[in-house]
Amino acid sequence: MLLKAYLDETNSNKQGKFCVVAGFLGSEQQWDDLTREWQSMLDRKHRKPLHMNSLRWGDSDRQLLAALAPLPDKYNLTRIMGAIANEDYRDCVEGKIVDYVAVPYLLAMQVCIAHVLLHLGEGEEVAFIFEEHSVYKHSAQTIYNSIFAFHEGDARLHSLTHVRKNTYVAMQTADYLAFQLGQFLLDPASKKSKWGMSILGDGNVKGVQFNREQIKRIVQTCISKGISLGSTGR
């Protein structure tokens, strides 16, 4: 069975407190069913595609978020996330490892991939679809190529691609979840965090927020492999 993971990011510019990559995993049938109802909901409310950063946070936005949030659980999609505190990146990584390997976005992206592969069932394979990132596009491709090389012969890994945000309705679910997790990590009591809380369902998310010790081990591993400042590492 082919599963698809649609993943988006928030705060990848290293300016916010946390960088989060997150989204949902499901079968093609699950995604077809969700997409149909998600788009129908937008049409009934005369709304454009959901972009969390474009919301004005008025009452109509609160109602829309509340209406859309239960749909991933309704169709049994699995939440995926990877997160890193940008302060931890600056303290433990920046200045030690080349950016194309270990900027917060790329670290969080790799967490998502690792946890999906960890939880795949027998006979399942996965296609990863990430939102296209203008700044880290080429670095992401390097990571993709490395993952394919590392998992050569592993039939579970079907493909890794990046697409523009509006290419698939499914990317809107990833945008919602990544934004919500970022807001929750930043301030669980804020209006933006509270209004989107229901997208977290029962709180079951596959993935992790890297702690400082994990980040330090990654740095040590990369340096031991010659992937540090001044090296080509590719």
Residue 234 lies in a domain: no
Tens of pLDDT, residues 50-97: 999 999 999 999 999 999 999 999 999 999 999 999 999 889 988 888
C-beta separation of 151 from 160 below 8 A: no
Instruction: Give the chain's domain count.
Output: 1
Domain interval for residue 95: 2-224
Tens of pLDDT, residues 7-19: 999 988 777 899 9
Residue 212 lies in a domain: yes
Burial of 137 (0-12, 13-18, 19+ CB in 10 A): exposed
Tens of pLDDT, residues 88-122: 988 998 888 876 667 888 888 888 988 898 889 88
pTM of the model: 0.89
Tell me what the mean pLDDT of segment 156-162 comes to.
86
C-beta separation of 181 from 7 below 8 A: no
CATH of the domain at 61: 3.30.420.10
- What pLDDT does residue 31 have? 98
Looking at per-residue pLDDT, the higher value among 144 and 67 belongs to 67
Q: How many CB atoms lie under 10 A from the CB of residue 226? A: 10
Residue 41 lies in a domain: yes
Spatial separation of the C-alpha atoms in residues 158 and 126, rounded to whole Å: 5
Residue 231 lies in a domain: no
Mean of the per-residue pLDDT values for the chain? 88
